[in-house]
Amino acid sequence: MNNDMKRIVLIFLLSLSGLVLTARGKFVVERVYISTDKDCYVAGDYVGCSAFCFDVSDGARHLSDFSSIVYLELVSADGVAQKEKIALIEGRGSGLIKLSPELPSGNYYLVAYTKQNINESGFIPSGKMLSIFNVFSTERVKGSAPADEKVAPKSEDYLPNSIDLEVLVDIDNSKISLLNHTGESAMVSVSVFHDDSLSSLPEYSIVDFYNGLKHTNFGDIYSADRADYEGEVIEVLSDARGKDLLLSFVGHCSDLYVSTVDSSGHAFFYTRNIYGENDAILQVCAENPSEKSRHEIVSPFIGYYGYSIPKLSISEDMEERLILRGMGMQTVKRFGGDTLADGLFLRPSAILNNPDKKYILDDYTRFATMTEVFVEYIPEVSIRKENGSSDLSVLVEDYMGQPYYSHFSSLVLIDGVPIQNRETVLSYDQALVKEIDVYTHSYLFANHLYNGIISIKTFKENLPSFSLENNVTIANFNGALYPQSLTWSKIKDFDSYPDLRQTIYWHPSVTILPKGSFNFEFMFPKYEGAFEIVVEGITSSGEAIYYKQHIK
Amino acid sequence: MKKTLIIILLVLTSVSFLYSQSKEVYDYYMDNASYNAVLYRGRIKTPLNFRYQGTPFAYTEDFTQGKLFYNGKEYYDVWLNINSYTDELEVRYSPDRQNQTIVLEKKLVKYFIVNDKKFEYIAGKSIPDGFYEILHDGKSDLIKKNKKMLIEEENLTRNKIFMSSNSYYILLNGIYYPVKGKSAFAKCFKERKKDIKRVSRQFSSLRSDDKDAYYITIFTQGCNQ
């Protein structure tokens, strides 16, 4: 074989191996990094989280546009203490975790993963270590015991700051500027917090996460089952095999989903991201609503807790600092400090946002019954008698905007929950109703076509005084955390606020344009102390950014 | 032998580069989700219930598979069509589901590509809000707005006809300039007047046959965009 031939065969083999590799990794391999506002808390505190979900399947590190949900578990040596979700938009997401006030003191591991990771063989979630002290209880996580000696402060030597980012602090005017010296956008989280040296945990930043990736062996992904592409895929176990199930959420008028229960009793609901704590309503689409059936939402969490977590050291010299922390946590709760959080961008709902007709009942004469309300001032809805029972029909518009009645039934929602028995709608107490929205078009939910939608909203938005049918199951559903920042911009308006905040500025998703800057103001709390600013994130090409500076 | 190996090598290499991992996973997801996918929930368009000539759609009544970026997610091989009469993007789970055509929330459509034509939803600018076809995307953009109007013939037949009209715009330094003829190009790119005139004369036959091609040629060759 001459040299040319040898070269061709070599390239051929290399190319073939490339193909094999591509075929092996045909599913997206993801890894999640969570940055937090600090690494030490008291039970009852809020933990500011910023999620960076990376697609590492091609050896590169760029934000993944695949998964839409990150699953978080707060794990101690005792087991999984809390489970949360963060919604992702193009690889980024955030949320405030409210730590349970009953958490025992200890070190916890905050692990994060996506459903793609669950499909990866040998995957063990990783994350960030947090110290949590309970200032009201002496209960400790297994293995945590008071130390006899003073706890050694953590080393001040850590990573050098990124040269790509410059931080200018103007203490006199309480202003900070972040200057991005790169020619790329920088996506970072920014935290300014009280540095009271309570935590003795080693520093862990996005740079460590990146270094860890170099030594990670990625497992084969054997499936992409029910990956959370558009939003969370919710799995339900039901005994209504072969029937269609409706999934809705009390107070969420845009979130109605339909799925068929398969022969093994599973139904999968492909949802957009659902936020907050909710009552999920599961019901069978049946002609006979009194037919009983049982449904259960399957937990998507791994629940693994076999990690090696260092013990938390507690010493007497921490007392004063812990008292200050405890008071800070309580004042936030007592004085509604948590209501000062700023809401960040949510993925919008694509449907049922703008009703064709909206009736605020207080704008009209209040009638005694719902039947009168519909008859007297909602011309788009007619009450029809069919086989001895009442039905509500919506006058829908055709292609050219001409109204007509169709033979398909309409959908009636009260606070987002489909009500199949129309008699119960008509006998509902109208005094509880704030608004009736009418959608005069046909809507499709999976294979269910509804000829117009009547969406009844109550003042309380929680379906008050309504007796649900026998075929309904109510389940607690914790959706994604609402993305929020704690910039405390409104705190200036509250002079009497006993300001003992530990985190004085937290923004989980700041984007700084190439060669651009991000400027913000902060306010020192009403106690003396040392503070620290930490900025971490990535550039659009995936380079890590880390910057830490003491503010005195 | 050498030639055969080179061909195999080229084929394999190109396949390996073209192989899109996210597309593979996306397909898997959509196969599982089928019509339960979030994309296929929404307001549906009832079919037109009268006889008409022409089409309310921009090009053809047939739905074609295309790529769509909607509500922050990419969707591939979606059966879609642009309705120029209502200025709405319509999608179907499969082409045979004619009675289940879903109208997407236009504000959430970033772009879609169908038959190698790219459309974007443009709103809040100096031009009317709506879907625009991106004819050329370079140093500056050339875009087109197709509108359909329903006309009823004033004779005994009372035929209903969808009539088409196009408007063109140049997007230069953030400003939209309407294009009503070749002079609009000369107005935007004064320094290239001679080239615009030359290209316009050279391709004058396109002016009546294919206005899109005529304007694109002037824009790319005459204006050097």
Residues in chain A: 552
Question: Cβ separation of B70 and A66 shorter than 8 Å?
Answer: no
**The pLDDT of residue B206 is above 80:** yes
**The pLDDT of residue B8 is above 90:** no
* pLDDT on residue A135: 94
- Nearest residue on chain B to A246, judged by CA atoms? B36
pLDDT in tens, B28-85: 899 999 999 999 999 998 888 888 999 999 999 999 999 999 999 999 999 999 999 9
Question: Cβ separation of A230 and B39 shorter than 8 Å?
Answer: yes
CA atoms within 13 A on the CB side of A323: 5
Q: Of B19, B25, B35, which is closest to A66 when you measure between CB atoms?
A: B25
Q: Of B8, B16, B108, which is closest to A18 when you measure between CB atoms?
A: B16
Find out whether B204 and B218 touch, Cβ atoms under 8 Å: no
Question: Cβ separation of B15 and A231 shorter than 8 Å?
Answer: no
Q: Of B21, B100, B105, which is closest to A57 when you measure between CB atoms?
A: B21
**The pLDDT of residue B120 is above 80:** yes
Interface test with B, best of A399, A406, A407, A441 (most B CBs within 10 A): A399
Name the A residues in 402-431 with CB < 8 Å from any B CB: none
Query: pLDDT band at B19, cuts 50/70/90?
Result: very low
Q: What is the ipTM of this complex?
A: 0.87
Interface test with A, best of B17, B25, B87 (most A CBs within 10 A): B25
* A36 token code pair: 């937090």
Contact status of A1 with chain B (Cβ, < 8 Å): no
HEC states along A257-320?
Answer: EEEECCCCCEEEEECCCCECEEEEEEEECCCCCCCCCCEEECCCCCCCCCCCCCCCEECHHHHH
Report CA A473 to chain centroid distance, whole Å: 24
HEC states along A1-61?
Answer: CCHHHHHHHHHHHHHHHHHHHHHHCCCCCEEEEEEECCCEEECCCEEEEEEEEEECCCCCC
Largest CA distance in chain B: 74
* pLDDT on residue A36: 97
Please name the residue that has the structure tokens 């709390």: A525
Report CA A510 to chain centroid distance, whole Å: 18
Question: Cβ separation of A351 and B29 shorter than 8 Å?
Answer: no
**Which residues in chain A have their CB less than 8 angstroms from residue B33's CB?**
229-230, 233, 268, 270
**Which residues in chain B have their CB less than 8 angstroms from residue A354's CB?**
none
**Which residues in chain A have their CB less than 8 angstroms from residue B26's CB?**
66, 229
Name the A residues in 89-108 with CB < 8 Å from any B CB: 89-90
Which chain B residues have any C-beta within 8 angstroms of a chain A C-beta?
1-2, 5-6, 8-9, 12-13, 15-16, 19, 21-22, 24-26, 28-29, 32-33, 35-49, 70-74, 100, 102, 104-105, 108
Q: Is residue B165 packed enough to be buried (19+ CB in 10 Å), middle (13-18) or exposed (0-12)?
A: exposed
Name the A residues in 65-94 with CB < 8 Å from any B CB: 65-66, 68, 89-90
Distance from CA of A540 to the nearest CA of B (A): 17
Q: Of A18, A351, A447, which is closest to B35 when you measure between CB atoms?
A: A447
Q: Of B2, B37, B72, which is closest to A347 when you measure between CB atoms?
A: B72
CA dist B213 → A423, B121, B172, B206, B218 (Å): 62, 22, 20, 7, 9
Q: What pTM value is reported for the model?
A: 0.89
CA dist A390 → A45, A369, A371, A373, A409 (Å): 52, 14, 10, 15, 12
**Which residues in chain A have their CB less than 8 angstroms from residue B15's CB?**
19
**The pLDDT of residue B18 is above 50:** no
**The pLDDT of residue B20 is above 80:** no
Interface test with B, best of A346, A351, A406 (most B CBs within 10 A): A351
* pLDDT on residue B17: 35
Mean pLDDT in runs of 10 for chain A (552 residues)? 53 42 59 96 96 87 93 95 97 96 95 91 89 93 63 63 89 94 96 91 91 80 79 95 94 94 96 94 78 90 88 89 93 81 91 94 92 94 86 89 81 95 93 96 92 96 90 93 92 80 95 96 91 95 92 80
Distance from CA of A442 to the nearest CA of B (A): 6
Distance from CA of B107 to the nearest CA of A (A): 9
Interface test with B, best of A7, A15, A67 (most B CBs within 10 A): A15
* pLDDT on residue A86: 98
Interface test with B, best of A9, A221, A257, A270 (most B CBs within 10 A): A270
* pLDDT on residue B207: 83
Integer Cα distance of A300 and A73 in angstroms: 11
Contact status of A152 with chain B (Cβ, < 8 Å): no
Find out whether A370 and A425 touch, Cβ atoms under 8 Å: yes
* pLDDT on residue B9: 44
* pLDDT on residue A153: 58
Integer Cα distance of A141 and A139 in angstroms: 7
Report helix angle B2-18 to A3-24, nearest 10: 30
CA dist A194 → A318, A525, A534 (Å): 15, 9, 11
